[in-house]
């Protein structure tokens, strides 16, 4: 999936605009303009992968910003991983057929783990399972509902079902620009045989280095890049 550690810019879309939320809470977002313009800017800056999320879809349970997401996929020539509102195998296959390289299954994978195998059978590298944690517990439905699942304990089950990797978001620090927590990421990396993509809390280049040191395959960065805490090139060089 990732031949070497990557810094992956986030393009999270709400009401057709790029938005970064704080702690995953609706109403806390800061807008950063048009998704296609943002995506093209990150690719021009050297991004080798983009991370797209339909935030409205994550909350509503169905894809709301499909047109905006499709426009980004059409506009860029780098791999794209996309999540938010993908609830069925048919939804996932439609996106993969349309040019998305990897779909991110969170709520759907927790409620119906077999969906991972259904999609992975046709697209062996096409599924990232999102294990997003709040208070050490996997949360779903736009990070609003607890599941009782421990991320590290759940990860290998999804590997056995064919997931190409795990996307782990530390919701407690997401969007706050106050730094990362490496212990949960390291624990997850050690618990599973498939790549782990870390997300949440990155504020400095040291945070990027720290997550690389956990053994994560990549890190998704949003607010820190949009707020100019560092450039994408600086993060990649770090």
The catalytic residue positions are: 12, 132
Would you call 233 exposed, middle or buried from its count of C-beta atoms within 10 A (0-12, 13-18, 19+)? exposed
Could you tell me where the beta strands, DSSP code E, fall in the chain?
Answer: 6-14, 17-22, 25-31, 50-54, 80-83, 102-105, 127-130, 133-134, 137-140, 145-146, 165-169, 196-199, 218-221
Q: Extract the tokens encoding 199.
A: 């997300």
Residue 93, helix vs strand vs coil: helix
How many helices (H) and strands (E) in the chain? 11, 13
Q: 9: exposed, middle or buried (C-beta count within 10 Å: 0-12, 13-18, 19+)?
A: buried
């Amino acid at each position: 999936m990732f031949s070497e550690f990557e810094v992956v810019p986030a393009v999270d879309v709400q009401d057709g605009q790029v938005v970064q939320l704080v702690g995953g809470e609706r109403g806390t977002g800061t807008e950063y303009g048009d998704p296609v313009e943002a995506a093209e800017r990150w690719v021009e800056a050297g991004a080798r992968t983009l991370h797209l999320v339909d935030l409205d879809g994550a909350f509503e349970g169905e894809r709301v910003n499909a047109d905006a997401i499709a426009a980004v996929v059409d506009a860029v020539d780098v791999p794209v991983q996309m999540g938010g509102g993908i609830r069925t195998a048919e939804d996932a296959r439609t996106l993969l057929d349309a040019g998305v390289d990897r779909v991110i299954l969170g709520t759907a994978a927790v409620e119906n783990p077999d969906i991972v195998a259904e999609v992975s059978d046709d697209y062996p590298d096409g599924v990232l399972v999102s294990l997003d944690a709040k208070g050490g517990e996997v949360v779903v439905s736009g990070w609003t509902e607890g599941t009782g699942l421990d991320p590290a304990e759940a990860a290998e089950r999804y590997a056995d079902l064919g997931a190409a990797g795990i996307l782990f978001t530390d919701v407690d620090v997401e969007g706050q620009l106050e730094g990362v927590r490496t212990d949960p990421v390291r624990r997850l990396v050690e618990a599973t045989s498939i790549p782990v993509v870390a997300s949440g809390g990155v504020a400095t280049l040291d945070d990027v280095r720290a997550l690389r040191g956990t053994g994560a395959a990549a890190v998704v960065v949003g607010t820190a890049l949009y707020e100019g805490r560092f450039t994408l090139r600086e993060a990649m060089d770090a």
